[in-house]
Chains A and B, each alone.
Chain A
């Protein structure tokens, strides 16, 4: 069974700062997902990665398959980025996803 570790668990930063959230996993995967959860519970899928890098607006996600590591970066952070960010590793089975415990990000104005 895959183990997915995220760091940091909690992160408070000032508006405008560059944010990095890390995710490591223990066994090979077919894809790595980054998810965002705002207060109230709904989860939005940000990225699905199997190699390299993806960018969407101020969000960038990278993955290093050899090192079993992925990072989510937020440039020019804003208070509306405050949320829980969750990485999830997808294996080969039908259920697929093993979740990290999430990073609680607070961006202060």
Chain B
């Protein structure tokens, strides 16, 4: 089974800190995604990547950046965390052919205080 592993289940950070959320997948998937999930808003796409060193903005990229130096790892970076970035963050990956499913990580619940 494909596994998507997010490095932290819960994180508490202070306003202004630089925060790294890590995501690793083990099945050579091309596409990787970062979403945030908020009550009443559902899942929203922050950034995605379809290849190493490639990145594309999603619907809500402001305040975030990403890094994909290796195919299996996709990092989400909060350059200067703010309280409105308190959320559940979910990573997902897919092979990229368009006919397969998505595999999600277990999520990281980030609280910015």
Contacts and interface: CB of A to CB of B under 8 A. Distances in A.
Report whether chain A binds chain B. yes
A41 B90 contact: yes
Contact of B33 (A35, A40, A95): A95
- Interface of chain B, helix or strand or loop or mixed? strand
B87 to A, nearest CB: 11
A33 B40 contact: no
Contact of B42 (A40, A48, A86, A94): A86
A30 interface: yes
B75 interface: no
A100 B27 CA distance: 27
Nearest to A44: B104
Interface residues of A, number: 23
B56 interface: yes
B99 A43 contact: no
Contact of A94 (B43, B50, B107, B109): B50
A95 B99 contact: no
B88 interface: yes
A68 to B, nearest CB: 18
A102 B31 contact: no
Contacts of A88: 43
B48 A95 contact: yes
Contact of B104 (A42, A96, A100, A102): A42
